[in-house]
Structure 1
Amino acid sequence: MANSPNYARRRLGTELRRLRGHAGLSAEEAAAACGWGNKSKVSRIETAKISVVAHDLRKLAAVYGVEAEALDSLMACLDDTQVRRWWTDYADVLNVSYADFIGLEAEASDLRMANSVLFPGLLQSEQFARAIIAEGPLVADPETIDALVEVRMRRQRLLTDLPGVPLTAVVGEATLHVEVGGRDVLRGQLRHVLELSELAHVGVYVIPFSRTAASFIGGMTLMAFSESNDPGMLFIEYHGGMESRDSTREVRRYRRKFDFLQQSALSPDQSRELIQKRLESL
């Protein structure tokens, strides 16, 4: 199966950066050799900020001294950047950041998510997701709400279509008390999490109020990919949006933060017991 366009652009950019380094050229030198007046064009291609067309890709390959077989591999990767995937059907309701997130999430070999007050979207029931989207800071029209809920449910196939992508989710105990949509919705949400947590590749960890780490605020997602030279991606969530970061240093720093949160949480079995206890109290 072809890579998602988002991930293919990222993979192509990483390989072009490697080839440029092997050729001993700076990004500015490579741009000049290609005859491009915009000196930042090469670095923007390498960081997947802009797409590259076939003509420009051949120019870069020639400058870097890429052999025919390697060029064929680059062109195949370029073809992947133009593949249509399911989320493109929702382009009218997805902003660029969210579309990029979904595309990279679809190619991840491992997912780690942490949130202080909400279960990650991959663990949300349809009713809970609808309540969050409908009552959020940017209230959408009914048709848009329906579409965004569909997107969130479609994303969950990463977990439910076996073998499934490994997911480790760490949440604060406060998530068990957020009654967006009412108590019936929360009951359904807790049951949904308990069901998903039974999957062998899904681990849910709850940080109890009594632990110092329970004071963390916000949300983050760490994505790892199968390519050995890919450092991974970090997404930091904030009120009404998210931002992405892919520097090796920052990704490592947030991995350490995630490890601290996970180590501070209850074990998966203890977490399920706490969730079940909260469910029974409603």
Structure 2
Amino acid sequence: MALRTTTTERQRRLGAELRKLRERAGLTVSDGGASINMGRVHLTHVERGHTAISTERLRALCQTYGCTSSTYVDALVRLSESKGKGWWSGYKGKLSPAALDLAELEASAEGLRSYESLFIPGLFQTEDYTRSIFNADDEITSQEAIDSAVRFRMERQAILTGQPPAEVHAVVHEAALHMRFGGTAVIRKQLLRLIELAENPRITIQVLPFTTEGVSTLSTPFFMLTSHGKALDTVLTETPSGSLYLHDDDSIAKYRRQFDRLRAAALPPVDTSIAPAAHDSRDSLGLIQYVLYTL
């Protein structure tokens, strides 16, 4: 079988998980390969995501490595058997591979956790707000590229209403409410969109106010996805050199703790079901409404 010239995050993740299992079992690549009648070089390519592995061999390999969690093994099988095709396939060659990887990950996600410091999360953005961001992007210069990027982000939002819809919890820094992308009318529409989205029982939106103390070290935005029966988590962070996907145990534990600290420090979630007179203390809805009033 020919080796893949490019690999997706899903393919790399499968290989990384198999390598992690092998190393935990204290086995070499040669040991693992021999257990399923596969050469050392062949298994190395599997662990790097450069080639596929059959379901039979995958399950046998997990057994060799002493993995007893059927939920986890089934999750690996789903990663392996997935064709990686979906609505995002139409954007291949138009957007970065990292963007397509994100859409594929979101399609199988059951839970999404997000922290943003300067932008409204992409899944919550209005079209005008998104377009204003890409219009200011130095790397996306042609109108055709901007139109594709905007359409792609709008299509990603289908997971909010899909069947079953993903459960989304976002913490947004107050600074993001004040950033002027597209002018006052665009920002007003965007903030009203946040309030509208919060009416969805599967969407939780909290605002982290400027007055919050003790979270200065948590200023880097991140996006966490839980998928495959919660057996696999992925964290996405954006860097100047591109998107970085993290899924090692230490990183996942670190970002889970960070999100727990952020949501504990943030104001109570936006809740439109509470009567105005009952808002007797600061909450996220009140802060968003205040910013709307001052625009």
TM-score, length-scaled by structure 1: 0.80
1:277 aligns with 2:290: yes
Give runs of aligned pairs for residues 235-246 of structure 1, distance below 5 A.
Answer: 235-239=236-240, 241-246=242-247
Report the AA paired with residue 289 of structure 2. Answer: Q
* Gap change, CA 1:161 and 1:227, over 3 Å in 2: closer
* Gap change, CA 1:131 and 1:213, over 3 Å in 2: farther
Which stretch shifts more, 266-275 or 29-38?
A: 29-38
Report the AA paired with residue 87 of structure 1. Answer: W
**What is the SS of the residue equivalent to 2:224?**
strand
Contact 1:119 1:171 (8 Å CA) reproduced: yes
Report the CA distance between 1:238 and its aligned residue: 2.8
Q: Aligned residue for 1:227?
A: 229
Give runs of aligned pairs for residues 74-93 of structure 1, distance below 5 A.
Answer: 77=78, 80-93=81-94
For the aligned residue pairs, the C-alpha RMSD in angstroms reads 3.3
Contact 1:220 1:235 (8 Å CA) reproduced: yes
Contact 1:6 1:81 (8 Å CA) reproduced: no
**Which structure 2 segments of 5+ residues have no match?**
1-6, 65-69, 271-282
Greater helix proportion: 1
* Gap change, CA 1:100 and 1:279, over 3 Å in 2: same
Q: Aligned residue for 1:131?
A: 132
* Gap change, CA 1:63 and 1:264, over 3 Å in 2: closer
**What is the SS of the residue equivalent to 2:48?**
helix
Report the CA distance between 1:94 and its aligned residue: 1.9
Find the aligned partners of 1:18 and 1:275 in 2 and give their Cα distance. Answer: 44
Find the aligned partners of 2:41 and 2:154 in 1 and give their Cα distance. Answer: 45
**What is the SS of the residue equivalent to 1:217?**
coil
Find the aligned partners of 2:158 and 2:175 in 1 and give their Cα distance. Answer: 26
* Gap change, CA 1:148 and 1:19, over 3 Å in 2: same
Report the CA distance between 1:263 and its aligned residue: 0.6
TM-score, length-scaled by structure 2: 0.77
Per-residue CA distance 1:65-114 (angstroms, 9 max, x = gap)? 89xxx9xx899847843252110100122212221111111111100000
Report the AA paired with residue 271 of structure 1. Answer: S
Report the CA distance between 1:258 and its aligned residue: 0.9
Give runs of aligned pairs for residues 106-255 of structure 1, distance below 5 A.
Answer: 106-161=107-162, 163-213=164-214, 215=216, 216-230=218-232, 232-239=233-240, 241-255=242-256
Find the aligned partners of 1:173 and 1:10 in 2 and give their Cα distance. Answer: 36
Find the aligned partners of 1:194 and 1:97 in 2 and give their Cα distance. Answer: 30
Q: Aligned residue for 2:52?
A: 52
* Gap change, CA 1:229 and 1:13, over 3 Å in 2: farther
Per-residue CA distance 1:172-199 (angstroms, 9 max, x = gap)? 1001111011111111111111111111
Contact 1:9 1:81 (8 Å CA) reproduced: no
Q: Aligned residue for 2:39?
A: 35
**What is the SS of the residue equivalent to 1:266?**
coil
**Which structure 1 segments of 5+ residues have no match?**
none
Alignment coverage as a number of residue pairs: 266
**What is the SS of the residue equivalent to 2:85?**
coil
**What is the SS of the residue equivalent to 2:95?**
coil
Contact 1:116 1:214 (8 Å CA) reproduced: no
Report the CA distance between 1:141 and its aligned residue: 0.8
Report the CA distance between 1:6 and its aligned residue: 6.0
Report the AA paired with residue 175 of structure 1. Answer: A
Which stretch shifts more, 158-167 or 263-272?
A: 158-167
1:26 aligns with 2:32: no
Report the AA paired with residue 265 of structure 1. Answer: A
Find the aligned partners of 1:247 and 1:75 in 2 and give their Cα distance. Answer: 15
Contact 2:14 2:47 (8 Å CA) reproduced: no
Find the aligned partners of 1:79 and 1:116 in 2 and give their Cα distance. Answer: 35
**What is the SS of the residue equivalent to 1:279?**
helix
**What is the SS of the residue equivalent to 2:120?**
coil
